[in-house]
Amino acid sequence: MVHVLEANRPLQGNFTIDDAFWNPKLRTLFDVTLPDTFDKFEKDGTLDNFRDVIAGKSRTHRACPWHDGLLYETIRGASDYIARGEKSDALIRRIDSYADLIAQAQDAAGGGYIHTLVLLNFPSFRFGENGGNILWQHDLYNHGCLFEAGVHYYKATGKTKLLETALKAANALAAEIGEPPKKWVIPGHSLPEYALMELYELVTDEPDIAGKVSCKVNPDAYRELARFWIFARGRHEHRTNHPRYMGEYSQDHAPIHNQVQAVGHAVRATLYYTGVTREAMLDGDQELLKDSMRLWDNMEYCKLHINGGIGATHFEEKFGTDYDLVNSAYLETCATAGLIFWAESLSRATGSARYFQTIERGLYNLMLSSVALQGDSYFYCNPLISDGNDHHWAWHSCPCCPPMIHKTFGMIDKLVLAQNDEGILVNLFIGGSANIQFPWGVTQIHAETGLPWKGSYSLTVDNANRPFKLMLRVPGWSQAIRCSINGTAIEPEIENGYAVFTVKQGDSVAFTDPMDVNRIEAHPYVSADRGRVALARGPLIYCVEGIDNHGETDFTLAADPDFKAEDRPDLLGGIVIIRGKKQDGEPFTAVPLYTWDNRMAGKMNVWLDQEGKGDTWSTKGWENRLYRPYHPG
């Protein structure tokens, strides 16, 4: 799909990850976390709901209204694992059996609509009508997840069963929902906006799909419906679903051009803003892109926690007010997953590296933390301080996070590199290799990295028919980066946050960074962190746990903490710890935030009091930034 507004695009080719840090973690996600997720959904009765629809039963629905969608999202994540080569015959058989069951339930219900809660328990409540509630029901959210699953499983395997089910559902929704005289129905939970665009893009790129399925394929109708869902927000005059006014909670308080802050339920918000950005790209709509960028600026400069978390408030799982960054914040895992989807879209639309600074921080510090190292327990919330009562759970009454974990790490290989007409963009410093198709032929590269433990990265051009531009994101955490080409130091030009090199076959571009321990301070308006600092090294945020510090996690750092980084291959899968000194001269130990709560229950803290750090309201030098390195004096 050619987007009218697109500064860079995903690789035309595959990136194969070969990375000492990431490979073991991705293997655990595939070997342990994925089957654990599917198994637990089956125990919840998710598949039994489809079986009961087939059997014509009623009043038997189990689990949450959105469990259909969670199953579909997990299939999408699994499909992306399969597409990058992590697959097994057993997994394919499992997903095929799910696809058969879902298709049979859709056929039994008739008409294309498939939502087990409504079909079993509330047949008159479709789309929140006749006493229903679209915020709770998740009709359209579930359908959007089905669109994703159908598209991604088809791309991974070429199989059409699930895709055909998705197309039938999309046809049914497009026939019923839209501008009057159709029903003016808006998703209570965003996601179907961008998911329907993915379906549209697939069938537009591959028109021969119409000959592979038994249903009608109508890309224009899918495009029209996705646009309707984007632009009908904040317009209530013809609304048929209940509640008619969903307010800030569902980004329904104003039309998108009039929305000025990131507000409401943080997951809904990021998924809606992802749809807004992709619509801008498809239509070449610069004003709509500005809307997305305006909302991003508010989020990044006023509402983003240091671990890449958003959604400070437990009530309605929503964004707080500007600078309301309490350390006991809610920070739902799904919100950061949505943030990564939004950021990736903005990066493609604008060509700016800034969005990948947030993606990197979210991946390493919140998303990795959200699943325990052994791979079968999870975090829903990701606070930056704990009294010892926050733990990874084996399962949850609302298990929405594991599917989003799979969706996020399923796409990680797609995040590493991008391309444009001039060459290759390096967005994440992950080791591996790629064959990349350009108009001038195939270019082959491989990358090696010491990150996140050592500040080294190199990319070598193994094969290229002609010189091209190589653009390396300048990492936001770096304080003393040094670049070279073929071993010779160079100071490259910086464009849109990328260091730009012209390379040819045989060239090797590298950077090194000392990766000193940095103390980070927050904007003076963040009252929770005045007089405090957080510890960072490279892309990793660190925390102190009670298990390493005689049970104490709330202490003051010495004016000169005398930090030392120490390799600990025997600890938590192999990490680098930070040793330092408290104000009273006693030593302390900090570990990467992603490893916390993997040994024993206990206290944890990220933001520590700093000796000699004043409590100031001065905002000099803080323009367009929420965090910066702390330098005494």
Tokens of 534: 């957080």
Region of residue 351 (left: phi > 0; alpha: psi -120 to 50; beta: else):
left
Tell me: do 325 and 299 sit in the same domain. Answer: yes
Output the pLDDT for position 617.
86
- Average pLDDT estimate for 138-147: 98
How far apart (Å, rounded) are the C-alpha atoms in residues 463 and 602?
52
Average pLDDT of the residues of the chain? 97
Residue 435 has pLDDT above 80, yes or no: yes
Domain boundary among 410, 429, 449: 410
- Average pLDDT estimate for 103-115: 98
**CA atoms within a 13 Å half-sphere pointing along the CA-CB vector of 230:** 27
For every residue of 40-64, which 3-state class applies, written as one string?
HHHHHCHHHHHHHHHHCCCCCCCCC
Task: Tell me how far the alpha carbon of residue 36 is from its chain's centroid.
Answer: 21
Residue 197 has pLDDT above 90, yes or no: yes
Residue 130 has pLDDT above 80, yes or no: yes
Residue 43 has pLDDT above 70, yes or no: yes
CB 548 within 8 Å of CB 603: no
Q: Does 9 fall in a domain?
A: no
- Average pLDDT estimate for 331-340: 98
> What pLDDT digit, counting tens, does each position of 408-429 carry?
999 999 999 999 999 999 999 9
Q: What is the CATH number of the domain that holds 508?
A: 2.60.420
How far apart (Å, rounded) are the C-alpha atoms in residues 159 and 57?
30
Q: How far is CA 548 from CA 121, 519, 569, 593, 596, in A?
A: 51, 20, 16, 13, 11
Residue 247's identity, in one-letter code, is: G
Q: Does 500 fall in a domain?
A: yes
Tell me: do 362 and 323 sit in the same domain. Answer: yes
Output the pLDDT for position 615.
82
Residue 2 has pLDDT above 70, yes or no: no
User: What sign does the dihedral 408-410-416-422 (CA atoms) show?
Assistant: negative
Tell me: do 468 and 445 sit in the same domain. Answer: yes
Q: Does 328 fall in a domain?
A: yes
> What pLDDT digit, counting tens, does each position of 553-598 carry?
999 999 999 999 999 999 999 999 999 999 999 999 999 999 999 9
Output the pLDDT for position 150.
98
Tell me: do 455 and 490 sit in the same domain. Answer: yes
Residues of the chain with pLDDT > 70, as a percent, come to: 100
How far apart (Å, rounded) are the C-alpha atoms in residues 456 and 453?
9
Which residues, at least 6 apart from 257, have a Cβ–Cβ distance to it below 8 Å?
287, 288, 291
Tell me: do 620 and 522 sit in the same domain. Answer: yes
- Average pLDDT estimate for 42-68: 98
Q: Does 605 fall in a domain?
A: yes
Q: Does 319 fall in a domain?
A: yes
The domain total for the chain is 3
Domain boundary among 467, 487, 512: 512
CB 565 within 8 Å of CB 576: yes
Output the pLDDT for position 614.
85
Tell me: do 332 and 353 sit in the same domain. Answer: yes
> In the structure, what pLDDT confidence band is assigned to residue 81 with cuts at 50, 70 and 90?
very high
- Average pLDDT estimate for 203-225: 98
Q: Does 246 fall in a domain?
A: no
Task: Give, in degrees to the nearest 5, the angle at Cα 263 between 261 and 268.
Answer: 130
CB 36 within 8 Å of CB 455: no
How far apart (Å, rounded) are the C-alpha atoms in residues 206 and 463?
30
The DSSP code sequence of 467-495 is: -EEEEEE--TT-SS-EEEETTEEE--EEE
Q: Does 374 fall in a domain?
A: yes
> What pLDDT digit, counting tens, does each position of 252-267 carry?
999 999 999 999 999 9
- Average pLDDT estimate for 275-304: 98
User: How many Cβ atoms from other residues are within 10 Å of residue 625's Cβ?
Assistant: 11
Tell me: do 332 and 372 sit in the same domain. Answer: yes
CB 95 within 8 Å of CB 149: no
The candidate with the shortest Cα–Cα distance to 62, out of 50, 75, 72, 80, is 50
Tell me: do 304 and 402 sit in the same domain. Answer: yes
Tell me: do 625 and 541 sit in the same domain. Answer: yes
Domain boundary among 512, 527, 550: 512
Tell me: do 483 and 524 sit in the same domain. Answer: no
Q: H helices within 11-130, ranges in order?
A: 22-28, 34-44, 46-55, 67-83, 89-109, 116-120
> In the structure, what pLDDT confidence band is assigned to residue 4 with cuts at 50, 70 and 90?
confident
For residue 378, give its domain range.
286-410
Q: How far is CA 237 from CA 86, 184, 193, 258, 519, in A?
A: 49, 9, 21, 17, 52
Residue 296 has pLDDT above 80, yes or no: yes
- Asked, as a colleague might, if the bond just before 243 is cis with ω within 30 of 0, I would say yes
How far apart (Å, rounded) are the C-alpha atoms in residues 377 and 401?
11
How far apart (Å, rounded) are the C-alpha atoms in residues 462 and 94?
39
How far apart (Å, rounded) are the C-alpha atoms in residues 490 and 80?
38
Tell me: do 506 and 560 sit in the same domain. Answer: no
Q: What is the CA radius of gyration of the chain?
A: 24
The verdict on pTM exceeding 0.75 is yes
Q: Which residues pair with 534 in a beta bridge?
A: 520
Residue 492 has pLDDT above 70, yes or no: yes
Q: Does 235 fall in a domain?
A: no
Tell me: do 350 and 423 sit in the same domain. Answer: no
Query: What distance, in Å, lies between the first and last C-alpha atoms of the chain?
Result: 53
